[in-house]
Copies of this chain bind each other. A is one copy, B any other.
Amino acid sequence: MDSIKIFSPSSVANLSCGFDVLGLCLDTIGDEMIIKKSTIPGLRIIKIDGEDLPLAIEKNVAGVAAKSYLNKFPTEIGIDIEIYKKIKAGSGIGSSAASAVGAVFGINELLERDIRKIDLIPYALEGEKLASGETHADNIAPAMLGGLTLIRNVESLDIIKLPSPSELIITIIHPKIELKTSHARTIIKKQVPLKSVINQTANIAGFISGLYTNDYDLISRSLNDDIIEKERSLLIPGFNSLKKTALEIGALGCGISGSGPSVYALSRGLTKAEEVASGFKNVISRLGIDYDIYISKINSKGVRKSI
């Protein structure tokens, strides 16, 4: 195999009740990458399509992740990477994680090495660190492994793949405003009232229980964020209207995707998810903001070779 094509999916981190610990892999939007063997030794990013991102290895999330992997598992073979960004940087659906995961997974596949996906995560995390300044696995883990993932401990990479009830459908709206993850992080309060902690732990516990028992009502009752939504949502124009609309239509829950500005809703069934998408469009159109909108099942596989 001299060349490989990769689909590296977008993802939704946090999911309201799981700040920094929960993530979900999307199915219908993701980056494409082509990774080729080269007779010239070394690692190069030779093309980036769709976004204005640096080609320099040490300044590029995919480059840093790939380099980290190759430092651990060196090769004499030269590697050229082409990145076709479909996920907009700064959209809040795991753009940098997709780049990092795709590069590491793709090179590992290209070199036909027998390393499990979960063991590739530390190298992808190195790339993510370049984007956010901190080690966060809540997009990396679902993009790599697929499904719904829990980061129980990021240092020890204790990652649990949770069940994904089959009728869960996600609607995502990306209002095209600039919002840097690092900025979104700075406005979060560093201290949380004890009452909010109790609510948050109760809700994530209810959510996890609902996933194991296919209890959509319990999932719905648990999809609340007592930690960051109030502050972060101030940066997202129309957030309160988007959320109100989604819940009135009958979404199970609605909140900020990652650090925003994208907003996600979880619905039971495709029809409901489509109705939510229409509702989202109405709200955001009235504000005169350009947007992208997506509807997706949960992608149970994660990053994969594409045909």
Give the interface of A toward B (CB within 8 A): 17-22, 150-153, 158, 160, 162, 188-194, 197-198, 200-209, 212-213, 218, 221-222, 227
Q: Closest 10 interchain pairs by CB? A: A152-B206, A191-B191, A212-B212, A208-B208, A21-B202, A20-B198, A201-B204, A152-B202, A192-B197, A204-B205
A-B contact pairs, 15 of them (CB 8 A): A18-B205, A20-B202, A150-B206, A152-B202, A152-B206, A152-B221, A153-B221, A158-B206, A162-B209, A188-B194, A191-B191, A191-B192, A191-B193, A209-B212, A212-B213
Contacts of A190 in B (CB 8 A): 193-194
Contacts of A160 in B (CB 8 A): 205-206, 209, 218
Residue of B nearest to A189 (CB): B194
Residue of B nearest to A152 (CB): B206
In whole angstroms, how far apart are the Cα atoms of A277 and B203 in the complex?
Answer: 34
Q: Are A201's CB and B18's CB within 8 A?
A: yes
Report the minimal beta-carbon distance from A217 to chain B, rounded to whole angstroms. Answer: 10
Contacts of A194 in B (CB 8 A): 188-192, 227
Contacts of A21 in B (CB 8 A): 198, 201-202, 205
Report the minimal beta-carbon distance from A16 to chain B, rounded to whole angstroms. Answer: 11
- Contact A19/B198 with A150-B209, A153-B221 known, Cβ cut-off 8 Å: yes
Interface centre among A151, A200, A208, A222 (most CB of B within 10 A): A208
Interface centre among A160, A162, A190, A227 (most CB of B within 10 A): A160
Contacts of A213 in B (CB 8 A): 212
Contacts of A200 in B (CB 8 A): 197, 201
Supplied contacts A160-B218, A201-B201, A208-B209, 10 more A-B pairs, CB within 8 Å: A17-B201, A19-B198, A21-B198, A21-B201, A153-B202, A160-B209, A190-B193, A192-B194, A200-B201, A209-B212
Contacts of A19 in B (CB 8 A): 197-198, 201
Report the minimal beta-carbon distance from A229 to chain B, rounded to whole angstroms. Answer: 14
In whole angstroms, how far apart are the Cα atoms of A189 and B194 in the complex?
Answer: 8
Q: Are A158's CB and B197's CB within 8 A?
A: no
Contact of A205 among B22, B188, B221 (CB under 8 A): B22
Interface centre among A18, A198, A200, A205 (most CB of B within 10 A): A205
Contacts of A191 in B (CB 8 A): 191-194
Contacts of A227 in B (CB 8 A): 194, 197
Report the minimal beta-carbon distance from A56 to chain B, rounded to whole angstroms. Answer: 33
Residue of B nearest to A198 (CB): B20
Contacts of A153 in B (CB 8 A): 202, 221
Contact of A202 among B150, B162, B188, B198 (CB under 8 A): B150
